[in-house]
Structure formats: C-alpha cells, structure tokens
Amino acid sequence: MFEPSETLAASGKWMLPDGVEDLLPHQAASIERLRRAVLDLYASWGYQLVVPPMIEFLDSLLTGVGSDLELQTFKVTDQLSGRMLGIRADMTPQVARIDAHQSMAGGVDSSNQRNRYCYVGSVLKTRMESVLATRTPTQSGCELYGEASIAGDIEVLSMMLEVLDRAGLPSVHVDLAHVGFIRKVMQLAGFDPKMDSKLLDVLNRRAVAELDVIATAASDPQLAALIKALPSLGGPASVLEDARELCHFDHELLAAISEIETLGQAVTSRYPSANIRYDLCELRGLNYHTGLMFAAYTGDYGQAIGYGGRYDNIGLAFGSRRPATGFSIDLKVLHKLAVGHVPSERSAILAPADDSPSLWQYIHTLRKTEKVIQLLPGQGATDYATVCDRQIVAADEPDKWQLMPLLAL
C-alpha cells in the first residue's frame, strides 16, 4: 500500500540532493532538441562524435590536467578489480585519452594528424561551482587535436559562438586572455614560490595597493611598472596598445599580445555583433591552459556560459605530445538562458482510440515522418489540445482515414 503524499513529502523521499534536479517532460524534450541541433552543427563542421564512459579507473581519469578535478570527482570502489573508480566530472581528459590512443594506433605516431572530436554527455560534480550551477551538467563541446597554429583557436572559438547563435542567445560578450602572458611575467620576475602565490592572490583580488608593494621586489624597473599595471590591462582593444608600450622589452610578451589581438580581430570579422573584451590579467585556467583562453557571457548571468582555450600536450600522460584546443558548454545552462529560442517541437497528430487494423496501418505509415499520439480508452481530445494541430478522422469510404485540422476545443 502506498503512503499518502503528505507522509512521503514529510519523510523526504521526494527530495533530491542539493544541485541535483529532475528534467520534467517539457524540459527534457526541449533540451533533447537543443542537443540534436548542437550535434548537427558539430557534424557540419567535420567534428566526429565520441562517447566516453561515465566511469573510469581513477588514476586514468585524474592523470595530467585531470588532477585539477580531484576534489570535484566522486570516487567508488570497483567490485570486480578492487581498484578505485572515478565518476567523470569533466569529459575533456577522457577525449585526450581517446585522441592519444587514436594517434598512436598500430604503433604509428600520427602526431601531425588533425582530429576533430565532439561530445555531449552527463558529468557529475561533488560540489556546485556557484549558487546558480548544477552538480549534474550536460556537458557538450569540441576538441581539435594536432593543430598548433592560431587557426585552430579561431576555429574552436567560432564553433562555440555558432552554438550560442544557434540557441538564439542575445548580446554575447567574449573575454579573450592568454595564460602565457602571466606565466612570462612571473618567469621574468623570478620570485620564489611563496611570492608567486602572493602575486597570484593579489591579482585575483585586484588589490592594487598590495600589488605596488610586490612590484618593488622586481629588480627591473620596466618589469615593476608592468606588474603594477596588470589590473588595468583589461578592456577594449585599446588596452593592447597600452600593453605593448609596457612590454616592449620582451618579445615573448609582445608575441602573446599579438596572438590575442589576432584572435579578437578574427572573431570581430566573423561575428560583428559579439562584444569583445581583452584581459591580460586573467588567471582562470593558469594550471590547465597553455596559451589563448576565451569565455562567453550573456545578460545578467554572472558565470561563463561557454569557455575554452589551448591546452597543448594534454595527452602527455597517455604518451601523446599533441597541440590541442577546445571548448565546453553546459547545455542545461544554455537551455535556461535560451528559453524561447530553442528549436520548437514539431506539432503532433491526434489519432482516435480505435483498434481497427486500417487505422493502425495509417498511423504506422504517418509515424515514419510525423509524431502521432493515439488516444487511449476514456481519453478526450482536450488532453492534447496544446500539443496537436491535426487529427485523424474517418473518411467517407470504409476503412479509410484522412488528416484534418484539429478543431478548436
């Protein structure tokens, strides 16, 4: 005997953990349409779908760059092998493993081969990254392996913007950064690890007064001036000229500025409506990325809706030294922000509750190209008035059926 609903609610049996939610039929259908549209888009650019497993041996899942995900990864014991398993919190390290295997297949090093991969799947996180986030994202993205030039970065960023455009997001803002810029500044400063950590903390908080004190520890006055100015090197394209004046003493810093400028110009040319912002003081992904980075924002949503960048040698732990760049997006977040812009569901046809063979054959034929909902005994057409726009009715001839507009109910 079932418990009364009040008792179930009071016992908490209907409750889900924080950051975990159901997708009800209308939500699930809408996200599925978005997923299909995104996969079709990836395919039109030549990206091939891969489906990594939800669970892997922990030492494989957290190898290399995956080590940054350890706190976000649920861990369980494999009852067959006794080894620790991890439930994936991010699919990017898994795609790196796949590419490493593909590039070394048959014992032949195909490190120069360009591989384009795409993926869509659920991931699980031990904690929410923000109050707006979920612990069960539907992660989707693309990875381009084997292309070391900036052409690869331009392609994957363009692909990410195509996804946002396909979802109909208005007013997209794109932040561009280059992790090599900050790393080079730290290298030139030659600080000890403790001072490096302090510098990163101060930059993260944009504490200008504290930064002035740290800058005095730099032996080179030009470098000290650059360190002091780092928090101001974020904004429109004009900040790149300011950065060049401050970085004239080092060609690697100038090269990083030129790369980020080239990426910004390409995006502006392809997507004139995108609002581009440059940030040479961005620290996100410092332990993960190796070059250009980008993130997309929209409206009042405070978190990045899509992010990515270059992470060369991501497959090193699997024996593959290959350049790589890519991006990822949470389709659940994208769906929330794109309500009203997700491709609409095709209208359905309503069939009567009749078990005649001729009607069944007619429905069977229609379902090859149409969505047909057949009423069950006791159901009325009003149950589907908002779903169906046509109905099957009996024709004048025996055992013949025809489509008619669904009459207003």
Per CATH, the number for 173-281 is 3.30.930.10
Contact criterion met (CB below 8 Å) for 292 and 279? no
Q: 26: which strand partners?
A: none
Q: How far apart are alpha carbons 41 and 162 in whole angstroms?
A: 8
Mind listing the pLDDT tens digit for each residue in 240-265? 999 999 999 999 999 999 999 999 99
Contact criterion met (CB below 8 Å) for 264 and 278? yes
Q: Which CATH number fits domain 15-170+299-345: 3.30.930.10, 3.40.50.300, 3.40.50.720, 3.40.309.10?
A: 3.30.930.10
Residue 54's pLDDT band (cuts 50, 70, 90): very high
Report pLDDT for 12: 66
Report pLDDT for 147: 93
Q: Is the pLDDT of residue 5 over 60?
A: no
Average pLDDT over residues 74-79: 94
Report pLDDT for 341: 59
Mind listing the pLDDT tens digit for each residue in 144-193? 999 999 999 999 999 999 999 888 887 899 999 999 999 999 999 998 88
Average pLDDT over residues 15-31: 88
Contact criterion met (CB below 8 Å) for 347 and 390? yes
Mind listing the pLDDT tens digit for each residue in 184-218? 999 999 988 899 899 999 888 888 888 888 888 88
Q: Would you say the C-alpha torsion 196, 201, 205, 210 has a positive or negative sign? A: negative
Q: Which string of DSSP letters, residue by residue, matches 207-244?
A: -HHHHHHHHTT-SSHHHHHHHHHGGG-EESTHHHHHHH
Q: How far apart are alpha carbons 281 and 178 in whole angstroms?
A: 8
Q: 404: which strand partners?
A: 391
Task: Report the run of H or E that residue 154 belongs to, with start and end.
Answer: helix 150-166
Do the two domains 15-170+299-345 and 173-281 of this chain adopt the same fold?
Answer: yes
Phi, psi of 247 (to 5 degrees): -110, 15
Average pLDDT over residues 5-27: 76
Domain boundaries, the chain: 15-170+299-345, 173-281, 348-405
Average pLDDT over residues 80-93: 94
Please identify which residue in the block is written with the tokens 């591989």.
Answer: 115
Tokens representing 328 are 């990822």
388-394, strands of its sheet edge to edge: 371-374, 348-351, 388-394, 401-405
Q: Is the pLDDT of residue 225 over 90?
A: yes
